[in-house]
Each structure stands twice: as structure tokens, then as C-alpha cells.
Amino acid sequence: MDAPPGAGGADFNAESQGQLSSSAGAEGDPIRSTAAEAAPPPSRYESQKRRDWNSFLQYLKNHKPPLTLTRCSGAHVIEFLKYLDQFGKTKVHLNGCPYFGHPNPPAPCSCPLKQAWGSLDALIGRLRAAFEENGGRPESNPFAARAVRIYLREVRESQAKARGIPYENKKRKRTSTAAKGSGVGSSRSGGDDGGSGGGGGGAVGGQATTGVLTIE
């Protein structure tokens, strides 16, 4: 797997730190040893973000021709999102399908499975953050490119029509429900499309995809 700039150094540093911690413990430094043991594990969101980042780097490595992160553009990010559709689990009806626009089709059809818009939106959010956390400059972040935002909007609108699910109305409904129930508890966001959010990761995480990415 390809590694982000400085990743090799990061591995080396981690190994070196482990050796230093071991030697420190052997020399009787209980404070450092206790601090290392007490370090909390990464959150679900951080773990998913790391997996997504490593998977994208692997995608760049396998690209024909191979791509480097510094030459990656918004167009390459869109290409990556389209590549992920083959691992999707969300039925997106085609224009000629009798169930086009039907939120609950009564029978199966041969329309393709794709990544839900919410899953892609959440994935891009994590990769955008990971890019800058790994030394990338905000102004050159390919995941924040205007072309990527336009593509996600087009996916949202096309899937809303194909599946009969008005995403914007759902969002307003969730907001209204949250306002009414604020004194009782937090509202629950529904839908199999993962929302546009973030959180720890429900949107993209579950099925292995030929060692490249874990999705939906």
C-alpha cells in the first residue's frame, strides 16, 4: 500500500517510540508506562477516517497510471467515488424502471446498486479532514474541490428522484422533530443513506471490498 508523505517516518517513529517506552519501563519509569497504558483507543470516527485514508492511497497506487497524492485533483476524487459504486448496497432505479421514484418498490428489479449519497458525503468529509491532518494544505485539498461538491449535489438530486426520497425534506423533518423533542432526548436520524454527517462512521463501514475500502 502506498503511504502518505511522511507515513514511513511515522511508522519508524512509532516503532522507535515503542522501543523507547520499553526501555523506559525496564529502567523503572512507572509514570511514562502508566500514561501509555492509560491512553484511550481512537474513536470509531478516527478509526474509520484512517481506514478511508489508507484505502484512498491504495486506490492511487493501483490507478493506471499510478497517481501521487500531490497530483491528485477533484476529477480523480470523482473518479474514485464512481469506482466505489460497484460496492454499493443502495438500489437506484433507472429512468425506464417501473419503480423509478417509488420509495418502497413492491418487487425486485434489475436496476444497479450504488453507494448512497449520504455515504459518499460522509466519506468525503473524512477524507477532506485526513488530507489536511496528513500535511496537505487546505487550498490544495482535492476533496474540497468545487467539482466534488457539484458531483455530490448531482448524486443527491438524482438519487432523490430515482428512489422517491426528498433528502432536503427529510432533513427539515429531522430538524423539526429534534426541536420538538429537545426536552426529551436527542432525535434519531433515519434512512439507509447515512445522512451527510459525520459522526463516527455509520455511513461508510462494513463490507470489505477487495482489500481496497470498507463501505456501507
Query: Could you tell me if residue 23 is inside a domain?
Result: no
Categorize the per-residue pLDDT at 39 as very low, low, confident or very high, splitting at 50, 70 and 90: confident
Q: Kindly state the greatest CA–CA separation across the chain.
A: 73
Which residues have C-beta within 8 Å of that of residue 132, sequence separation ≥ 6?
138, 141
Tell me which residue of 194, 192, 196 sits closest to 204, measured CA to CA.
194
Query: Could you tell me if residue 138 is inside a domain?
Result: yes
Averaged pLDDT, 105-124: 95
Is 167 a residue whose pLDDT tops 60? yes
User: What would the pLDDT profile of 135-154 be if each residue is shown by its tens digit?
Assistant: 999 999 999 999 999 999 99
> Of 28-32, 47-51, 93-97, where does mean pLDDT reach its minimum?
28-32
pLDDT score at 54: 97
Structural domain boundaries, residue 199: 42-179+190-215
C-alpha cell at 204: 461508510
Is 16 a residue whose pLDDT tops 80? no
Categorize the per-residue pLDDT at 34 as very low, low, confident or very high, splitting at 50, 70 and 90: low
Query: Could you tell me if residue 37 is inside a domain?
Result: no
Query: Could you tell me if residue 14 is inside a domain?
Result: no
SS3 label, residue 99: coil
Cα 44 to Cα 58: distance, rounded to the nearest angstrom = 21
Question: Helix 146-163 crosses helix 117-133 at what angle (to 10 degrees)?
Answer: 160
Residues shown for the chain: 216
**Count of domains observed in the chain:** 1
C-alpha 190, offset from chain centre: 18
Residue 72, number of CB atoms within 10 A of its CB? 24
pLDDT score at 171: 52
Residue with cell 491532518: 133
Categorize the per-residue pLDDT at 25 as very low, low, confident or very high, splitting at 50, 70 and 90: very low
Query: Could you tell me if residue 10 is inside a domain?
Result: no
Rounded to a whole number of angstroms, the distance between the first and last alpha carbons of the chain is 22
Averaged pLDDT, 183-190: 40
